[in-house]
């Protein structure tokens, strides 16, 4: 058993670093998608192991995979001269096809027979008190370029229609066939509901052709409350993420919104898998605002899916309309979402995942960040109890062997650390590596731990002078992805807590509560176990 897990781990590592892909690239002919996939699955990688193991991990998965292969056989749109995406493709398959996406190569977001039915609804925050944005998909463009929702108060009195002409659609790729999702058709509507009373409960209704959808929600506090509570995780799969999604459904009374700095669904450019993920999550995120930014797995097709389907409060936070960074205030916390994911060069094609790049690679990001931090620090002068949490998909300080912590982390630190320390960030949040690591406050130059701030066996940070870093990448993938921390080697004393990946059917997520002076952070396994718990006291 252990041997098998280890073997799978090696394969995933390989897939991640594209060694399988590089080896495979050289020997493709013009085969059908099925033949090609089979060849990929049967070939032996540089570790002399067969990727088919990935799919045969459990018997049910084996049965399921036979069905997938049957479906693939019927597809005609595969361009076999472009084969490198196989590793990504297989990830999307594993995560998504469990949900039996009937896909013939044409990609429709929604129900073509009921073209105005609302699909995968979710909410976003804008950072403003009493304001949310409702987002959903329809198969056809809403009439008169106008999408509307009806808002009612808790006793059912209709407050009126809120409408918007923010309706987005997209075509995919340029030059490459987007395989499972060619000829995309679908529309994403985003409707802002404003001027509600913070903390009050309301409902909204979206009217469809064959069904209407109604969800309850709480009008956000923005900065008008001295407390806030949320769920935070990264790196959540579709099938792999189901346990976390199910666990959150049981905890709806314990958090008001969700923060996810990157990697959701593992659709890797196959939009039907992203649709399946958002559909699966709908009961949660249609009621609890879902604030995301992009990781490497949202990269394919230049972030097209995420850019169209999520309303990011870029304009509200002074960023350019096409920025992949923004900030929001909720309770006493100022959250900054940053982006390192490089969309300027796709060495292996536009479907490719992104590579990390310094903040300043992206025109305007560093300037925006400095400006945002400066404005925040003015506000903190008059209210020293405000918290600053900065985040991005990838880790800065971490201790996993491999590029993410050894090469990219130190590179990314060079720009982020000076700002994070100058403006006294309380925390840095990230994921990307599918493990959990909590890093104690360290001096940004000497890398020594704060001497007195770590107390109570590391469960309390008392007036820490530097940020606490949390890498929380264990929300769960469908494929085994374990054993990141090497047993028996010594880690720096600031690596306070380390937890290896926990995958399907487990996964983990954090619930965070903050008031003026205390931040509570609790990491749960979906089986209910508390995996880590600490607090920061100002
Ligand atoms: C397949 O992709 C290659 C590389 O982009 C392209 O040159 C070729 O025309 C494509 N073939 C088909 C049938 O679309
Ligand atoms: C997927 O759905 C199709 C069409 O509804 C059905 O024929 C097929 O049996 C389903 N496959 C699985 C594995 O559930
Ligand atoms: C694929 O399925 C969609 C319905 O989901 C249908 O409208 C379309 O005609 C089909 N395309 C092909 C090539 O079979
Ligand atoms: C909802 O609105 C109606 C009509 O304005 C009002 O009578 C009622 O008190 C409101 N309910 C709540 C919970 O605010
Ligand atoms: C793509 O969709 C359009 C309508 O949305 C349709 O006219 C066209 O035939 C489709 N092309 C293919 C190759 O399916
Ligand atoms: C949706 O709501 C509208 C307005 O209340 C109503 O006329 C319509 O019958 C509803 N549709 C369905 C399918 O329930
Ligand atoms: C909330 O933010 C607004 C806009 O930045 C500011 O004018 C106001 O003073 C803030 N309120 C509190 C309680 O911090
Ligand atoms: C951006 O915000 C400004 C004011 O802050 C507003 O005038 C403008 O219409 C907004 N643009 C968009 C596209 O929302
Ligand atoms: C990706 O999209 C952004 C925003 O629309 C655009 O500025 C950029 O040029 C695009 N990059 C590529 C490689 O197409
Ligand atoms: C270290 O933090 C200080 C602020 O405390 C900042 O001014 C300096 O630029 C930082 N240096 C590095 C190398 O991060
Ligand atoms: C933090 O957790 C403790 C123990 O559960 C609780 O007593 C306290 O109220 C929490 N603090 C905040 C700010 O939520
Ligand atoms: C914040 O929460 C802590 C418990 O975690 C409590 O002791 C403290 O009184 C709270 N602060 C305020 C202003 O309520």
Mean pLDDT by 10 residues, the chain (538 residues): 30 32 31 48 46 44 51 46 46 61 60 93 98 97 97 98 96 50 81 98 97 98 98 94 96 98 88 88 98 92 91 98 97 98 65 83 96 98 97 97 93 97 98 96 97 96 98 86 83 96 89 98 97 98
Residues 6+ apart with CB under 8 A from 255: 229, 230, 231, 248, 288, 511
Which residue's CA lies nearest to atom 8 of ligand 8?
315
* Residue carrying structure tokens 């999520």: 310
Q: Is the dihedral of CA 521, 525, 526, 529 positive or negative?
A: negative
Predicted local confidence at residue 341, as pLDDT? 93
Which residue's CA lies nearest to atom 5 of ligand 9?
322
**32 CA → ligand 1 middle, Å:** 14
Ligand 11 neighbourhood includes 225 CB (under 6 angstroms): no
Residue 124 Cα to chain centre, angstroms: 14
Ligand 2 neighbourhood includes 102 CB (under 6 angstroms): yes
What CATH architecture applies to the domain 119-537? 4-Layer Sandwich (3.60)
Q: Which atom of ligand 5 is nearest to the CA of 185?
A: 5
Predicted local confidence at residue 103, as pLDDT? 46
Ligand 12 neighbourhood includes 385 CB (under 6 angstroms): no
**421 CA → ligand 10 middle, Å:** 6
Ligand 5 neighbourhood includes 482 CB (under 6 angstroms): no
Ligand 9 neighbourhood includes 322 CB (under 6 angstroms): yes
Ligand 1 neighbourhood includes 360 CB (under 6 angstroms): no
Tokens of 196: 């509600």
Which residue's CA lies nearest to atom 1 of ligand 5?
183
Predicted local confidence at residue 434, as pLDDT? 93
Paired residues of 427 in beta bridges: 389, 468
Query: Which ligand has the minimum distance to the alpha carbon of residue 344?
Result: 9
**227 CA → ligand 12 middle, Å:** 9
Domain ranges of the chain: 2-103, 119-537
Query: Which of 158, 161, 205, 212, when mutated, tests ligand 6's pocket best, judged by the most ligand atoms within 8 Å of its CB?
Result: 212
Predicted local confidence at residue 99, as pLDDT? 53
Residues 6+ apart with CB under 8 A from 277: 95, 96, 237, 238, 241, 264, 265, 267
């Amino acid at each position: 058993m252990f041997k098998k897990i280890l073997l799978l781990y090696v394969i995933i590592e390989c897939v991640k670093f594209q060694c399988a892909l590089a080896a495979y690239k050289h020997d493709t002919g013009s085969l059908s998608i099925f033949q090609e996939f089979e060849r990929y699955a049967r070939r032996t990688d540089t570790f002399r192991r067969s990727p088919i193991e990935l799919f045969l991990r459990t018997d049910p998965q084996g049965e399921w995979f036979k069905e997938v292969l049957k479906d693939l056989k019927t597809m005609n749109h595969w361009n076999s001269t472009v084969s490198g995406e196989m590793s990504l493709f297989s990830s999307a398959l594993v995560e998504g096809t469990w949900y039996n996406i009937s896909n013939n190569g044409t990609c429709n977001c929604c129900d073509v027979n009921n073209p105005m039915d609302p699909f995968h609804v979710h909410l976003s925050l804008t950072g403003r008190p009493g304001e949310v944005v409702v987002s959903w998909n329809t198969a056809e463009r809403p009439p008169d370029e106008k999408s509307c929702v009806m808002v009612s108060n808790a006793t059912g009195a209709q407050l009126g229609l809120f409408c918007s002409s923010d309706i987005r659609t997209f075509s995919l790729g340029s030059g490459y066939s987007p395989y499972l999702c060619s000829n995309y058709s679908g529309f994403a509507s985003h409707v802002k509901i404003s001027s509600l009373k913070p903390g009050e409960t309301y409902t909204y209704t979206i009217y469809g052709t064959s069904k209407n959808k109604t969800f309850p929600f709480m009008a956000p506090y923005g900065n008008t409350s001295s407390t806030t509570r949320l769920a935070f995780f990264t790196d959540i799969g579709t099938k792999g993420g189901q346990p976390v999604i199910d666990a959150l459904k049981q905890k709806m009374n314990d958090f008001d919104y969700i923060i996810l700095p990157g990697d959701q669904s593992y659709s890797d450019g196959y939009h039907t898998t992203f649709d399946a993920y958002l559909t699966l999550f709908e009961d949660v995120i249609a009621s609890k605002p879902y604030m995301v930014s992009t990781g490497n797995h949202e990269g394919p097709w230049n972030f097209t899916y995420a850019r169209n389907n999520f309303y990011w409060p870029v304009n509200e936070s002074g960023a350019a309309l096409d920025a992949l960074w923004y900030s929001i205030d909720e309770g006493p916390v100022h959250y900054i979402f940053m982006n390192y994911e490089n969309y300027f060069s796709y060495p292996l094609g536009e479907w490719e995942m992104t590579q990390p790049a310094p903040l300043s690679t992206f025109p305007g990001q560093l300037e925006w960040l400095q400006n945002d931090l400066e404005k925040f620090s003015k506000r903190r002068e008059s209210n020293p109890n405000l918290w600053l949490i900065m985040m991005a998909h990838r880790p800065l300080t971490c201790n996993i062997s491999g590029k993410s912590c050894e090469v990219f982390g130190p590179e990314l630190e060079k720009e982020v650390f000076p700002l994070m320390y100058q403006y006294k960030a309380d925390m840095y949040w990230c994921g990307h590596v599918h493990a959990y690591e909590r890093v104690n406050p360290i001096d940004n130059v000497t890398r020594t731990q704060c001497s007195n701030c770590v107390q109570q066996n590391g469960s309390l940070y008392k007036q820490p002078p530097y940020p606490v870093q949390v890498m929380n990448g264990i929300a769960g993938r469908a494929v085994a992805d374990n054993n990141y921390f090497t047993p028996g080697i010594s880690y720096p004393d600031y690596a306070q807590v380390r937890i290896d990946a926990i995958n399907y059917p487990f996964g983990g997520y954090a619930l965070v509560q903050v008031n003026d002076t205390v931040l509570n952070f609790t990491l749960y396994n979906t089986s209910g176990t508390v995996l880590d718990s600490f607090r920061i006291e100002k």
